[in-house]
Amino acid sequence: ISLCWGILRNNKLITKTIIMKKVFLTMTMIFATMIASAQISALTTLNVEDEADGKTYNVTDNIGVGYQINESLMVGVTRNGEENYNFLGRYSLNNGIWATCIYNYAPDSEDELMDRLNVGVGYSIKVWRGLHVDPNYTMPLKEDEDGGREGSFNIGFSYKL
């Protein structure tokens, strides 16, 4: 009996190793499933500039990528001009309506965090397969010198890969 008791007592290490391997494999599968269900989106905004000879339309000034974490939440980054970046979060509310928060990052700026944030709402219209037109309205959280906040209406495009 003492021989059997010694064998069972020494197998605790093997049993714990097997259990830990199963837990690790299960956690890995859960994490891989979460990653696989997420979608990558290409984002851009239509910019219109008035010039002397007419209007110029540009879709490459504000181009970026978004990562759909789940059905409701997307995070992303867009390039705003030459060296500035915008970090964005988008939360889907209902039937294509979404709210967004955009942080305008500039490397040499001394502005406070709240001075660089914009918030807005938008609507996503599915045009074809993964292509969406996203009209939206955003406004800064910081007031201007007159105490007002002038927002902007934008036309965005997104393609879910």
pLDDT single digits (tens) 116-137: 899 999 999 999 888 999 999 9
Q: Is the entire prediction scored with pTM above 0.75?
A: no
Instruction: Give whichever of 49-53, 111-115, 120-124 has the largest mean pLDDT.
Output: 120-124
What is the pLDDT averaged over residues 4-30?
66
Using pLDDT thresholds of 50, 70 and 90, give the confidence band for residue 38. Answer: low
26 vs 14, higher pLDDT: 26
Which residues are within 8 A (CB) of 38 and not within 5 positions of it... i.e. 6 or more apart?
A: 67, 68, 69, 70
The tokens for 13 are 């290490």
Instruction: At 159, give phi and psi (nearest 5°).
Output: -130, 120
Q: Give the tens place of pLDDT for each residue, 52-84.
A: 778 878 877 788 999 988 889 999 999 877 778
What is d(CA 69, CA 25) in angstroms, rounded to the nearest whole number? 22
Report the candidate in 129, 141, 119, 122 with the shortest Cα–Cα distance to residue 45: 122
